[in-house]
Structure 1
Amino acid sequence: MNIYVGNIPKSTDEQTIRDLFEEYGSVSEVKLLRDRYTGELRGFGFVTMESDDEAQNAIDNINNTDLGGRTLVVNKARPRTERPNRGGYGNRNNNQRSW
């Protein structure tokens, strides 16, 4: 199961999150997202656990707990959805001019 972990302190590393979740079962992957320009943690990430039962147990026990002075938000990750193009020139698929 893929688990969303939010409100992570910027000083946290992937090993700390792995250790936290491994108390509840086998962790196959930890991915903390970073800002592409500064390299700083963006404050959230994802943990993949092998067993759905272990993952749910981790969610139930870690959600709303304190890590580095911040209250973690932990829940089942939602599937990624396509986001619309937010470019500054409107819809590039329909470039017809009105004049």
Structure 2
Amino acid sequence: MNIYLGNLNYRVRENDLRGLMEQFGIVKDARVVIDRETRRSRGFGFVEMESDDEARNAIETLNEQEFMGRNLIVKEAMPRPERPAGFERAQRYKEPQEY
């Protein structure tokens, strides 16, 4: 199961997330989302746990708990909504729109 962790301290790194979550089970992947331009944390990340039961336990235990000075938001990650590819999205601004 993939878990969303929000309201992260901007100093949190992937190994910090991994260490936090490994107390609940096997961590397959841990990522802190980084801003492309500033190269700084955007304050949220994702952890993929091997077991759904372990992931649910982590969510229940850690949500609203303090970690590195901030209260975490921890919940099951939702799939990203489908978005048109860049070229397709740009085309809608070039073609006349009918309303």
TM surpasses 0.5: yes
TM class by smaller structure: 0.7 to 0.9
In 1, the alpha carbon distance for the partners of 2:56 and 2:67 equals 19
* SS of equivalent residue, structure 2 residue 8: coil
Deviation string 1:9-58 (CA, Å, 9 cap, x unpaired) is 00111111101100000000001100101110000010000000000001
In 1, the alpha carbon distance for the partners of 2:12 and 2:79 equals 25
* SS of equivalent residue, structure 1 residue 19: helix
Letter in 2 for 1:69: G
Q: C-alpha displacement at 1:79, in angstroms?
A: 1.0
Query: Which runs of 5 or more residues in structure 1 are unaligned?
Result: none
| Identity between Structure 1 and Structure 2 (%) | 45
Q: Which residue of 2 aligns with 1:92?
A: 91
Equivalent runs, 1:62-81 vs 2, <5 Å: 62-81=62-81
Q: Which runs of 4+ in 1 moved over 4 A?
A: none
Q: TM-score, normalised by structure 1?
A: 0.85
Q: TM-score, normalised by structure 2?
A: 0.85
Q: Which residue of 1 aligns with 2:61?
A: 61
Q: C-alpha displacement at 1:67, in angstroms?
A: 1.2
Q: Which residue of 2 aligns with 1:24?
A: 24
Aligned length: 94
Letter in 1 for 2:43: G
In 2, the alpha carbon distance for the partners of 1:3 and 1:9 equals 17
Q: C-alpha displacement at 1:82, in angstroms?
A: 2.4
Does structure 1 residue 49 correspond to structure 2 residue 34? no
Letter in 1 for 2:5: V
Q: C-alpha displacement at 1:84, in angstroms?
A: 6.8
Q: C-alpha displacement at 1:92, in angstroms?
A: 2.6
